């Protein structure tokens, strides 16, 4: 048997807001192509000129690049293929697969009203459809016709959907689809078919809002002599309150996640699990995902967006990322908060100290701020209120112990223990004033580590000021 090269595509309509659900529709065809060493094509379905925008295309392309979905071919813009669609329409007219229909808007409306009154499903009645032995009226002059596809009569369209199983639609349900408008511009379903054929797409993996289009597309494809691809229709992604995801009800765009300090690896992992599973694996690399990905394990029911789970995953990825790499990623976020990471404590050390408690890069930057603010200055009243005079002797001893201590977490911890024992104090009684002296706050990471990161000299300077 000839090995067939797998070719998949992501075919977004760049009409406005791109949320995570949209990118999941890119992820699965991408993963399927990568798993099978095939090709992944990006096709931009931009024929709706009014609603499409370059801004939306940019968001899609950037988002995919950020998540590491590489593209083998494209972006291919449908608007640049209009001549090709016109060429196929002409071929279909010439070979009798399509025909001009002169029925006016008013006539169509009248037909629909009649059918509705008779409790019939509104559909085009084939008035202008040529048939052997049928005599058509002369074409009305000055009217630009639409072009309709001659849908097969009788029988049914059947396909074995990789997610939904076998689907069968009777041809009698389908009327003759308009493939070109009066001005000659091709219509949506027609362009999809020409593209999927020309691009040799073997697997169409897309949202299940397209199930209804599929029988029409299969019919046109077969008429053109093509072999329909395998279809896998993905259940939608709902938001956390179970509604369709949209900007209106608070969905965030890919760029928002980037700005909020999410790691692309975490988002990719999250999206992978939003409608697909591999045993009970929750955290996995992109490579594992590609290795495991199959159409059989796609979910059959709608997936629900769970922001807490995404945050949890992001936290896991932050925890497991090498501090130097994490510091690089967090730097722009820190800069945005006005932190100059080149002056003051080593940023990598700061990040490794705070990363375990952070869920996002933004949280890392916020926690890092503590170490880059100028040394606090205090009024005598502030000192009196926050450094109990009973603690001052212990603080003085601590300063001495730190002075003679090696600059390690363990040594500083030992210095604390020794002073605590000597003065019969509990840790908070000493640690709180120390924190206050260092940063004018009592909320900091573990004090021994803080001393290492801040540096002995700086720490001693700050501590000495409150015991004079
Ligand atoms: N452009 C369509 C959409 O964004 C997808 C078409 C397809 O995948 O066939 O919903």
Quote the ligand 1 centre to 390 CA distance (angstroms): 72
pLDDT at 247 over 60: yes
Residue 3: per-residue pLDDT: 59
pLDDT at 277 over 80: yes
Kindly indicate the confidence band of residue 81, based on its pLDDT and cuts at 50, 70 and 90. Answer: very high
On whether the CB atoms of residues 357 and 445 are closer than 8 A, the answer is yes
12 lines ligand 1 (CB under 6 A): yes
**Relative orientation angle of helices 447-454 and 347-354, to the nearest 10 degrees:** 170
Q: Where are the domains of the chain?
A: 321-372, 380-464
206 lines ligand 1 (CB under 6 A): yes
Residue 246: per-residue pLDDT: 79
13 lines ligand 1 (CB under 6 A): yes
Q: In the CATH scheme, what is the code of domain 380-464?
A: 1.10.10.350
pLDDT digits (tens, 9 = 90+) for 343-387: 999 999 999 999 999 999 999 999 999 999 999 999 999 999 999
Kindly indicate the confidence band of residue 83, based on its pLDDT and cuts at 50, 70 and 90. Answer: very high
191 lines ligand 1 (CB under 6 A): no
Residue 1: per-residue pLDDT: 45
Q: Which has more confidence, 41 or 238?
A: 41
Kindly indicate the confidence band of residue 101, based on its pLDDT and cuts at 50, 70 and 90. Answer: very high
Mean pLDDT, to the nearest integer, of 406-412? 97
pLDDT digits (tens, 9 = 90+) for 25-68: 999 999 999 999 999 999 999 999 899 999 999 999 999 999 99
Quote the ligand 1 centre to 19 CA distance (angstroms): 15
pTM: 0.91
Mean pLDDT, to the nearest integer, of 394-398? 97
Measured in degrees and rounded to the nearest 5, phi and psi for residue 78 equal: -60, -35
pLDDT digits (tens, 9 = 90+) for 182-220: 999 999 999 999 999 999 999 999 999 999 999 999 999
pLDDT at 462 over 90: yes
pLDDT digits (tens, 9 = 90+) for 215-225: 999 999 999 99
């Amino acid at each position: 048997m000839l090995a067939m090269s797998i070719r998949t595509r992501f075919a977004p309509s760049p009409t406005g807001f791109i949320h995570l659900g949209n990118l999941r529709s890119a992820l699965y065809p991408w993963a399927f192509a990568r798993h099978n060493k095939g090709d992944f094509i990006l096709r931009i379905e931009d024929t709706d000129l009014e609603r499409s925008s370059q801004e939306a295309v940019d968001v899609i392309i950037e988002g995919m690049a950020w998540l590491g979905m590489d593209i083998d071919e494209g972006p291919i813009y449908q608007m640049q293929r209009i001549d090709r669609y016109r060429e196929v329409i002409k071929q279909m007219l010439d070979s009798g697969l399509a025909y001009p229909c002169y029925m006016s808007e008013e006539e169509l409306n009248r037909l629909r009203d009649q059918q509705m009154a008779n409790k019939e499903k509104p559909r085009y009645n084939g008035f202008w459809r040529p048939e052997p032995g049928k005599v058509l009226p002369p074409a009305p002059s000055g009217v630009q016709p639409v072009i309709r596809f001659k849908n097969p009569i009788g029988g049914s369209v059947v396909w074995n959907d990789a997610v939904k199983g076998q689907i069968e639609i009777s041809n009698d349900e389908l009327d003759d689809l308009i493939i070109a408008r009066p001005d000659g511009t091709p219509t949506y379903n027609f362009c999809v078919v020409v593209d999927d054929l020309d691009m040799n797409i073997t697997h169409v993996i897309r949202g299940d809002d397209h199930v209804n289009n599929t029988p029409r597309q299969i019919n046109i494809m077969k008429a053109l002599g093509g072999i329909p691809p395998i279809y896998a229709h993905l259940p939608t992604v709902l938001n956390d309150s179970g509604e369709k995801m949209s900007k209106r009800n608070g969905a965030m765009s890919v760029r928002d996640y980037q700005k909020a300090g999410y790691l692309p690896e975490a988002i990719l992992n999250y999206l992978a699990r939003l409608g697909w599973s591999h045993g009970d694996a929750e955290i996995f690399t992109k490579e594992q995902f590609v290795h495991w990905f199959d159409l059989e394990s796609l979910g059959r029911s709608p997936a629900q967006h769970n922001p807490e789970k995404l945050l949890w995953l992001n936290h896991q990825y932050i925890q497991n990322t090498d501090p130097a790499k994490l510091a690089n990623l967090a730097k722009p976020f820190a800069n945005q908060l006005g932190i100059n990471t080149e002056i003051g404590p080593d940023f990598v050390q700061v990040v490794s100290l705070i990363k375990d408690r952070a869920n996002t890069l933004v949280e890392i930057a916020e926690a890092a701020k503590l170490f880059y603010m100028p040394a606090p200055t205090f009024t005598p009243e502030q000192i009196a209120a926050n450094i109990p005079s009973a603690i001052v002797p212990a603080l003085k001893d601590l300063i001495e112990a730190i002075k003679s201590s090696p600059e390690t977490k363990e040594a500083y911890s030992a210095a604390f223990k020794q002073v605590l024992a000597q003065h019969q104090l509990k840790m908070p009684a000493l640690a709180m004033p120390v924190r206050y002296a260092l940063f004018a706050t009592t909320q900091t990471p573990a004090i021994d580590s803080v001393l290492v990161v801040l540096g002995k000299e700086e720490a001693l300077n700050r501590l000495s000021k409150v015991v004079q």
